[in-house]
Structure formats: structure tokens, C-alpha cells
Amino acid sequence: MSPTTSDPAERTAPAGIDPRSPRFGAGITAALLLVVVMLGLAGAEAPAFVLLLAIALLFAWGAFAGVRAHPYGLVFRALVRPRLAAPTELEDPRPPTFAQLVGLIVTGVGVVLALVGLPAAIVFAAAAAFIAAFLNSVFGYCLGCQLYLVGIRLRAAA
């Protein structure tokens, strides 16, 4: 990218992030969501609800403060990143930040539905979010990032 580019999106693109950081966070999130699913299936709805609420709040943190300010990103940069070789390329933080918003919506719906008397929503929301977090952490396939790119393409086509 050169400073003379005519594309305003490229001129304002934020500095890249280590792509391993969102995958690290997705691994932690996947593990926590699996616990929510197991608690919900075991009938421990109150602890499952509290943990799902905490995960939703973490998604909100990442969605509104950005992935650089997310606690998992801070842990990655402080404890994990110094032990790794430099990344071969950096990633635009906007798609992972959007993915945090998608995670917030999915888990938030589960929390709200549980509050209005549908406790099974805890397990369904956690399972759906688990699938996305698992795909990201294990395979590097970010569903929320893909949705972000679809949105960009649709906006460009309009």
C-alpha cells in the first residue's frame, strides 16, 4: 500500500495484527463455550448462563474496543508472542473485530432468550458460537471474518 493510493479504505486501513492472536483467543473461547454446552446439557443452567454472559461481555469488549484491546489479545502479546517467531504477514484487524460482533450477537441472543424463559437457548447459542470458535482456532477459518468480507463485497457491488 502506498500513501498515494486512490482507495480511501486502503489509506485508512489500521496497522496489521499477528494472525495467531485471534486464533489464540478463539481457542480459549471455544474451550469456555464447550464448558457452557456441557453445563447446560447437565442441567446446570445457572452456571451455564453466568459463563455465557461472561463470554458475551468478552465478545462485546472485542467488538467495541477492538481485538487489540481484548484481554485475550493482551495475554497473547504479553505471554505467547514473545516466545514465537515473527509472523510472516500481518492481518487487518477489522474482520476479527467484526467477528467479535457476530459472536456477541449469537451469545447475546442466547442470554436474552434464557432471561425470557427459554433456558435451552443457552446450549444452542453456545454450540453455535463453539463451532465458529473451533473452526477459527483449529483451522484458521473465521466465519465472522468471512461475513465481513461478504459485506464488503455487497457494499462494493451496490
The packing angle between helices 94-115 and 20-41, to 10°, is 10
- Give the pLDDT mean for 38-49: 96
**pLDDT grade, residue 13 (50/70/90)?**
low
Residue 6 has pLDDT above 70, yes or no: no
Model pLDDT, residue 15: 85
Q: How many distinct structural domains can be found in the chain?
A: 1
- Give the pLDDT mean for 114-136: 97
Report residue 54: phi and psi, to 5°.
-60, -40
Structural domain contains residue 7? no
How far is residue 52's CA from residue 19's CA, in Å, rounded to a whole number?
Answer: 25
Structural domain contains residue 124? yes
Residue 4 has pLDDT above 60, yes or no: no
Cα Rg for the chain, rounded, in angstroms?
17
Model pLDDT, residue 12: 58
Residue 37 has pLDDT above 60, yes or no: yes
Q: Which residues contact 84 (CB under 8 A, 6 or more apart)?
A: 20
Q: What is the residue-averaged pLDDT of the chain?
A: 92
Q: Is the full-model pTM beyond 0.75?
A: yes
How far is residue 120's CA from residue 51's CA, in Å, rounded to a whole number?
Answer: 15
Q: Which residues pair with 17 in a beta bridge?
A: 91
Structural domain contains residue 4? no
Model pLDDT, residue 74: 94
Structural domain contains residue 2? no
Per-residue pLDDT of 66-88, as tens digits, reads 999 999 999 999 999 999 999 99
Structural domain contains residue 30? yes
Question: What is the distance between the terminal CA atoms of the chain, rounded to a whole angstrom?
Answer: 25
How far is residue 30's CA from residue 94's CA, in Å, rounded to a whole number?
Answer: 21
Residue 44 has pLDDT above 50, yes or no: yes
Structural domain contains residue 9? no
Higher-confidence residue of 6 and 61: namely: 61
Structural domain range at position 50: 18-157
Model pLDDT, residue 3: 43
**pLDDT grade, residue 8 (50/70/90)?**
very low
Structural domain contains residue 5? no
- Alpha-carbon distances, residue 58 vs 3, 29, 65, 66, 97 (angstroms): 35, 9, 10, 11, 12
